[in-house]
Amino acid sequence: MRLQIKAFTLVETLLTLMIVSFIYMGLTGSVKTSFQQVEEKVFFAEFEHLYQESQKIALAKQTELDLEVSASEIRTPYQTVSIPASVSVQDPKTIQLDRAGGNSSLANLHFTTQRGVVTYQLSLGNGKIKRVSSPASILLESLVALSLFAMITTLLLGEMRRSRTERLADFKEMEVLSVAQMALQTGKNSLTVNGIQVEVEKDAQHITVYHQGKAVLHVE
């Protein structure tokens, strides 16, 4: 009976684990990135709301109001908004709102995210705020990562196929040797088992077993 090779070798198992791990890390990274994007959108919406509410408070109370932007939070005397870990402030500063709710300091705010730079242009006087986004090269990075993944996967699958081919060849050789030994033990000059045929040639001093014209066993 022929041997049926179904189990993976240690090398194939390790290579499979590497591929699965790479895919898992890619999916985990995608989920994390999606969560960060939602968190960033919520933060920018909260900041814009805080700025507009601060203008209303300054106008209603006819008082100057400072909006302090630090590395970890944006603070007014009435409210604080925390800055997510995925967002960094390029230039922490204090924005001064006058009694009319206008901006009395010419300043722009720059926030850096994984998707690029978000700039808030603060108009002098009327205090209007304008948001401008400068996207990073996400598409290029994604293509590079995808190409790298495809290359690694191709190499690993090629190695798995090569390893399996070598193992099949080794087992085929073992089968041929087994049939050759059976032919010697039974004293037959020709023997076929499971499609494997061997021929035995004898002389006074040597016995040679051939398979497909190639000597596979030689006994002196």
Residue 158 structure tokens: 């090629």
- Give SS3 for 51: helix
Q: Is the pTM of this model over 0.75?
A: no
Please, are residues 67 and 51 in contact by the beta-carbon 8 Å criterion?
yes
Report the distance separating Cα 214 and Cα 212, nearest Å: 6
Helical (H) or strand (E) element with 121? strand 116-122
Q: Does domain 10-136 have CATH number 3.40.50.410?
A: no
Give the pLDDT of residue 111. Answer: 92
Q: What is the pLDDT of residues 48-57, one digit of tens each?
A: 888 888 888 8
Query: For residues 80 and 67, what is the distance between their CA atoms, to the nearest angstrom?
Result: 10
**Percent helix, strand and coil across the chain, each to the nearest 5:** 45, 30, 25
Could you give the CA distance from residue 32 to residue 28 in angstroms, rounded to a whole number? 6
Tokens, residue 190: 């020709």
Q: What is the mean pLDDT of residues 123-136?
A: 71
Mean pLDDT for the chain overall: 78
The predicted structure's pLDDT at residue 82: 93
Would you give the distance in Å from CA 143 to the centre of its chain?
12
With cut-offs at 50, 70 and 90, classify the pLDDT of residue 5: very low
Give span(s): CATH 3.55.40.10, the chain: 10-136
Q: Which residues contact 128 (CB under 8 A, 6 or more apart)?
A: 122
**Averaged pLDDT, 165-178:** 82
